Amino acid sequence: MFLWNSWNHFQCNIDEWTVKTTADALVSTGLAALGYKYVNIDDCWAEESRDWKGNLRPKSSTFPSGIKALADYVHARGLKLGIYSDAGYTTCSKKMPGSLGHEQQDASTFAQWGIDYLKYDNCYHDGSAPQDRYAKMSYALHKVGRQFFTLYVNGERSTQQNGLAVRVTSIADENNRWGRYAGPGRWNDPDMLEVGNGEMTLEEYRSHFSIWALMKAPLLIGCDVRSASRQTLRILGNKEVIDVNQDPLGVQGRKIRSKAGLEIWAGPLSRKRVVVVLLNRSGSRAPISVGWREVGLSPYSPVIVRDLWARSFVSMSKRYGLTAYVAPHACKIYILTPNS
């Protein structure tokens, strides 16, 4: 699943004009054609209190036309509209009501507005098990014909930007622990992409995008696509890396080796192929080697090696393994295809 989400870049500074122009930009940049079809409004879109009937109300100062009109605008461009709520009394910003105790009412409201997707957070709740609270919303959405939503278990937010590259790799490590539970219809979501938000280098952005793609994580754009640089658009729009993310086999890639900040991540793909990421988390350029046996291939059989960032073939008949010199915080991502 691909989408744009407002939180990482705009946080609470979101309005209908931003959403509309972002939808237009997804189309004009070609990102929509690559699969980025969902435009998701995160926290702070509603008034601080419900109306006299208990319904959520779009914030009149920022969404004066209402959410239904906004959904119509987004749908007219061949896209889908997502929205945000919380399995608690208020959302994580404390600036709008959560859906706890209003699950069916809110699900019905979202359906009436034409909402296609719900991001459901976990702040300021009653202490009951999140599985129970999520199940209530899942049932409510199913009842109104809306079944696509993402659950956020931790219910924690951080606006701290220091050491963002470190935080991103730490999130990847955490997501790696849950790899065996992932599969079609139940993807682990390590949160939105930071690509294009200006806090990391281009190499770090490529590494970030590569690992998220290998992990089959939902690709959630978190930058302002209206002003995104060509380099940012090239990263977000690399179809070969996107195809790894969308591979029909649906197996989350995992970290298979790590030593002194030099890592190998790998996973199986359809048609007996394997994706491999060589990731350098250290501060200096270093060689990283991977053997075919480590990633489930015969060391004696020739392999076609495709470099997805260089968009070129490294070899049409490589045996045993390969070694690449990788810059600090950079990566190499390859698809290995048995050539026999």
pLDDT grade, residue 192 (50/70/90)?
Answer: confident
pLDDT grade, residue 183 (50/70/90)?
Answer: low
Residue 278: strand, helix, or coil? strand
pTM for the model stands at: 0.90
Given phi > 0 = left and psi -120 to 50 = alpha, else beta, which region is 120? beta
How far apart are the C-alpha atoms of 317 and 9, rounded to whole Å? Answer: 44
Q: DSSP readout, 219-253?
A: EEE-S-GGG--HHHHHHHT-HHHHHHHT-TT----
From the list 156, 111, 99, 153, the residue with the least C-alpha distance to 129 is 153
**What pLDDT shows up at residue 130?**
87
Domain coordinates in residue numbering, the chain? 2-246, 254-338
May I ask the CATH architecture of the domain 2-246?
A: Alpha-Beta Barrel (3.20)
Q: DSSP readout, 173-202?
A: HHHHHTGGG-BTTB--------TTSSSS-H
May I ask the CATH architecture of the domain 254-338?
A: Sandwich (2.60)
**Mean pLDDT, residues 246-262:** 94
**Mean pLDDT, residues 120-139:** 92
pLDDT grade, residue 131 (50/70/90)?
Answer: confident
